[in-house]
Amino acid sequence: MSMKKFTFKLTVAAVALIGLQTSSYAVDSVSVEAGAGSKVQMLRLGAQWDWKNTAWWQSNGTHIGGYWDLTVAEWHEKRYNNTDSSKNFTDIGFTPVFRFQRDDKKGFYGEAGIGVHLFSSLYNNDTKKLSTAFQFGDHVGTGYVFANGLDVGLKLQHFSNGGIKQPNGGVNFAVLKAAYRF
């Protein structure tokens, strides 16, 4: 079975299991993201759980809240091993995300998060290498949530192992996100 088929089946199974949960654990939103970096592309699916009734700072109808973000992504390296070969691999991530937003959670927002990721293989693309399958992923982003629950955003994301092991070239993405809040 190919990795893409396995990833797709795993994602479908995860979404089905999540849907069977009680309402207190139910997913609050789902997302699809597409990202591009230097000779690398990414497609990511995610499920988010709001930090309900949590606001650290409130002022003039806005607050800082957040959500948990569980994702499965497929990366496409266009210059694998610094050659004209390509390679795909899977990334599973979990990130707490802080969001500055209106109290009704509609309109413009800004967000930032730092999470953990596990790659199915090591990244080795276009002179950039990551020597561990465990990576940190951090991002900053902005977006807009429409009245119907559609969330459209743009974020800049960086992956690195935090210096755990060398080489640690880092990988950067510009990511376009579309999410739907239930």
pLDDT at 34 over 70: yes
Going by pLDDT thresholds of 50, 70 and 90, the confidence category of residue 20 is very low
Model confidence over 93-134: pLDDT tens digits?
A: 999 999 999 999 999 999 999 999 999 999 999 889 999 999
Closest C-alpha among 92, 173, 178 to residue 128: 173
pLDDT at 136 over 70: yes
The predicted structure's pLDDT at residue 21? 47
Mean pLDDT computed over every residue of the chain:
89
- More confidently predicted of 9 and 102: 102
Of 51-55, 83-87, 111-115, which gets the smallest average pLDDT?
51-55
d(CA 146, CA 149): 5
Going by pLDDT thresholds of 50, 70 and 90, the confidence category of residue 56 is confident
Give first-to-last CA distance, the chain, whole Å: 33
- As a dihedral over the C-alpha atoms of residue 154, residue 120, residue 17, residue 98, rounded to 10 degrees, the angle is -30
The predicted structure's pLDDT at residue 53? 78
Helix, strand, coil percentages in the chain from 3-state DSSP, rounded to 5? 10, 60, 25
Domain boundaries, the chain: 3-181
Alpha-carbon separation of residue 76 from 13, 39, 66, 118 (angstroms): 23, 9, 30, 16
Going by pLDDT thresholds of 50, 70 and 90, the confidence category of residue 10 is low
Domain 3-181 has CATH 3.20.20.140: no
> What pTM was estimated for this model as a whole?
0.86
The predicted structure's pLDDT at residue 83? 86
